[in-house]
Chain A
Amino acid sequence: MTRALSDVAVQPAKSLFMLLTVASLLPAVDAQITVVDLIPQTWSNEAHQDCEPNIAVNPANPLQIACSTFTLDTPSGATMSGSVAPLFVSDDGGNTWSINKIIPSAKGKTLPTQDITLRFGGKSGVLYGAILRQADNEFNPPLNLLRTNNFMGPEPMTVLLTRDNEDQPYVEAMTIATGVDAGKDRVYVGHNNGSNAIAAIDLSLDAATSAPPDGFSLLPIIIETRNTSRDGPQVRLAIHPTGIVYGVFYGWRSGDPPVFTADVVVVRDDSGGKSSKPFQDLSDSDGLPGKRVVTGISVPWLNEHLKDFGQERLGGDLAIAVDPNDSKRVFIAYSDGTSATDYTLRIRSSTDGGLNWSTDLQTLSKAKNPGLAINSSGTVGLLYQQVTENDTGQRWITHFVRTTDGFAHVSDAVLADSDASLPTADTSVGPYLGDYEHLLSVQNNFFGIFCTSNEAKFPSGITLKRNVDSKTKHMRNLQNTADVPPSIDPFFFKVIETTNSSH
């Protein structure tokens, strides 16, 4: 189901006057939103906690989309029945979805992977993945970097690199358009490296075609240059079409669970990691590489299903995006706080390549899972999920926000609104909705993925392929003879710009 973004909500949020003013400035229809539940009809019995989603859209053919979540390989089994885990795939722009089991996994495990992110190369059509692979030694699920040139085919993804002691690998990729490296896929994986848990990046400058490890090194590039007890697990990257790469991470400076003191650090490499000192092109006043956007903030580490945060756990959130038309225009999202009560998502920007940063452009209380992207018109998209409370209890609200003026004004669409207590969190799975979700842009359009209850309200519309009772909105089993309990499902969405924004 599709709905016009400007029909849904406009939220400059400071006053009714501003609201009306901005609403009058917006074109009648800016963009069309489509939201689709990824669970296919033949998996209507599915009722797992399919959380922590990621998405890849092929820039060369945006009809081709791949998504991942913590989804087991059968609709109703309690553990992996085989050794390959599902990928959600679409070749019609996300209107219909199939499950293709091509992710390396292990039989008998409760989760298909322990982390997974995906990205397509820019023009190659090659899909890359970064996972923490299920293995016999669960104390140390190894990092696997993966590749396939046929994500719709039945062959499992090729393992390019395996390494122990890594956390939260987050992959980005692009194809070099011009110059001597034209046509080569550059792949970057931000992660938390080694037993010391230091922010790091793996990269290959030509990853598409050669045999493993295909340009990846046995050792990663450490991007933390300051004293640290360890860093936060999130390392997020953004690639500009010219090859400039930005990264953002939490440098944990002191503390122990449940609260660390941290800096938010941005690094940059103007040659895409080719130089002898990669990711050191942005320095701070202490002379060290890595610009500290903020210092001495608190970041909670609460590894439990928090009753006062919609059953989710907390450990920091990061996102970063660079304007495809201006490599110096960068936005970041980060969270701080000491507990579920004061956890706050903040948006900041730089217009000089990360040297100087704005104050908070947005502060979103009890919000997490940011996704940031900037489209070819310069419009910034922000995806996030927020816990709110009303008379009936806590709710998870999933927002997609667009702004054309650096968050001075925003148009806000609620994608989903669900009871945060249903379903009850599965105690064998750490994240409830996920430690992350993702937003990206292709040309002028935004594509994203989030997880929430499949019995949520979807104010921007919803398409369900799995069986559902149209009156009660309850999920139904494959035979359509009985209800299936509500569960966490992955939801794809796309925002198609239908007119050029004028502000």
Chain B
Amino acid sequence: MTAQNERTQKAGRNSTDYKFVGILGLLLGVFTLCVHQPVWAATLPEQLSLKSDFIFKGTVQRINASTMAAVPATESTIVVRVDEIVQAKPPDDSLRGKEVTVVLRSPGTVKVGQQSIFFANDYLAGNSIAVTEIGQVPDKSMGALNIKESIKSIVKEHALDPLRKRIETSIVIVGGKVVETKSLPQELSEKPESDREPEWWAATIEVQSVYKGTVPDKKLTIRFPHNFALPGSPKFSEGQQGIFLLHHEKARMLPSEVLVALDPLDFQPFDSSSLIKEIVQLQSIVATAPASSP
């Protein structure tokens, strides 16, 4: 699932609720685990799930073994069957039922037949997959279910962090339609000095709604790189409609007062309207809240 799809699904829901529920769930899970398995449970912070490329429930098939010739079998390598994928990048189910190699943090910490939730980072991908363990939780514990659900919530919640950051740093956010794009007159533009320097063009947006900041006119002119500079930056065309997260940036031949949308997240579909409104409102509340007393 892409971040954008997640945003669409979550539109209209209070994001702080998710974070609260997710963290609470994880804490409950950890608490439950601490009661039953205090040694490993104590090493399970929220960051563990955020640092993991791949979180899965698996059954240890073989120890001192490997599924890849490029990863020699040692006392630190085990073969695990993937029973359930909790989190993967990209999220797909293609590894379910497959055997993967796990490089353990410490040899001798698992037994054949043991089921665990593995927190792991990608290592090698070839004819099979090898991952490096950064943590594991035996799956027989009462808290395992809670942990899985909590992890999913936490990961989903944090998937929105990049968008939150772009909204927070934006000067103006408007919804509208691009009615004109054109190259700049020669006095406002120089030819790029390298293939990484933008060739700036102007895009005029007919403003339909304002989410953040003030817009003095119904039409707003922004600039965007018309060439390959800034890979992934939105390239606007006439008729394009959506939500524009507009920033000030420092660059040669870019006046400081000019608004730009350079990050891939700076142009959003109208489907994200509710979500963007919520985030803007929450950030506004946080920004205007009185500072707490020491």
Contact = CB atoms under 8 A, between A and B. Distances in A.
A303 interface: yes
A217 B217 CA distance: 52
B187 interface: no
Task: Please classify how large the interface on chain B is, using the bins under 10, 10 to 19, 20 to 34, 35 or more.
Answer: 35 or more
Among A75, A77, A109, A154, the most chain B Cβ lie within 10 Å of the Cβ of A154
A111 B232 contact: yes
B257 interface: no
A430 B126 contact: no
A77 B231 contact: no
Interface in A109-149: 109-111, 114, 138-139, 141
A428 B231 contact: yes
B264 A465 contact: no
B193 A42 contact: no
A474 B13 CA distance: 42
A139 B127 CA distance: 38
A306 interface: no
Contact of A197 (B194, B232, B251): B194
Nearest to A78: B2
B162 A108 contact: yes
Given A91-B70, A92-B69, A303-B192, A429 B127 contact: no
B195 interface: yes
A500 to B, nearest CB: 33
B103 interface: yes
A171 to B, nearest CB: 19
B103 to A, nearest CB: 7
A190 to B, nearest CB: 16
Interface in A56-96: 73-79, 81-82, 89, 91-92, 96
B90 A77 contact: yes
A96 B235 contact: no
Nearest to B2: A78
Contacts of A114: 196, 231
B90 A74 contact: yes
Nearest 6 pairs between A and B by C-beta? Answer: A110-B232, A98-B126, A430-B228, A81-B89, A98-B124, A110-B231
Contact of A139 (B128, B227, B228, B251): B251
B46 interface: no
A96 B126 contact: yes
Contacts of B196: 114, 139, 141, 167
Nearest to B103: A154
Given A141-B196, A152-B70, A230-B193, A41 B122 contact: no
Nearest to B53: A82
A74 B195 contact: no
A96 B230 contact: no
A101 interface: yes
B125 A42 contact: yes
Interface in B118-133: 121-129, 132
Interface string B28-43: 0000000000000000
Task: Please classify how large the interface on chain A is, using the bins under 10, 10 to 19, 20 to 34, 35 or more.
Answer: 35 or more
Given A42-B127, A73-B89, A303-B227, 14 more contacts: A41-B127, A76-B90, A77-B90, A100-B124, A108-B263, A154-B123, A192-B194, A233-B194, A303-B192, A313-B228, A428-B228, A430-B195, A465-B126, A479-B94
Interface in A232-275: 233, 256-257
A183 interface: no
A41 B128 CA distance: 8
Given A101-B122, A154-B123, A304 B90 contact: no
A192 B196 CA distance: 13
Contacts of B132: 154
Determine chain A's interface SS by DSSP, over half rule: loop
9 contacts: A41-B127, A42-B126, A78-B2, A81-B53, A81-B90, A100-B123, A108-B162, A154-B121, A304-B228
Given A79-B264, A303-B195, A98 B125 contact: yes
A71 B232 CA distance: 14
B218 interface: no
Contact of A43 (B121, B125, B227, B251): B125
Contacts of A304: 227-228
B127 A40 contact: yes
B90 A75 contact: yes
Among B70, B126, B264, the most chain A Cβ lie within 10 Å of the Cβ of B126
B231 A430 contact: yes
B68 interface: yes
Contacts of B233: 138
Contact of A40 (B126, B195, B228, B230): B126
Nearest to B230: A138
A138 B198 CA distance: 11
A42 B53 CA distance: 16
Given A42-B126, A89-B70, A303-B192, A429 B264 contact: no
Contact of B230 (A82, A107, A139): A139
B144 to A, nearest CB: 25
Contacts of B192: 257, 303
A42 B195 contact: no
Contact of A77 (B89, B127, B129): B89
A257 B199 CA distance: 12
A99 interface: yes
A96 B195 CA distance: 35
Interface string B72-116: 000000000000000001101010000000010000000000000
A74 B89 contact: yes
Given A41-B127, A257-B191, A465-B127, A98 B227 contact: no
A99 B264 CA distance: 26
Contacts of A139: 196-198, 230, 249-251
A276 interface: no
A478 interface: yes
Nearest to B70: A98
Contact of A478 (B89, B94, B121, B198): B94
B63 interface: no
Nearest to B93: A479
Among B68, B70, B123, B125, the most chain A Cβ lie within 10 Å of the Cβ of B125
B224 to A, nearest CB: 13
Contacts of A45: 92, 94
A97 B2 contact: no
Interface in A279-324: 303-304, 313, 315
Nearest to A141: B196
A81 B239 CA distance: 31
B207 interface: no
B90 A167 contact: no
B47 to A, nearest CB: 14
Contacts of B230: 138-139
A89 B191 CA distance: 40
Contacts of B103: 154
Contacts of A152: 70, 124
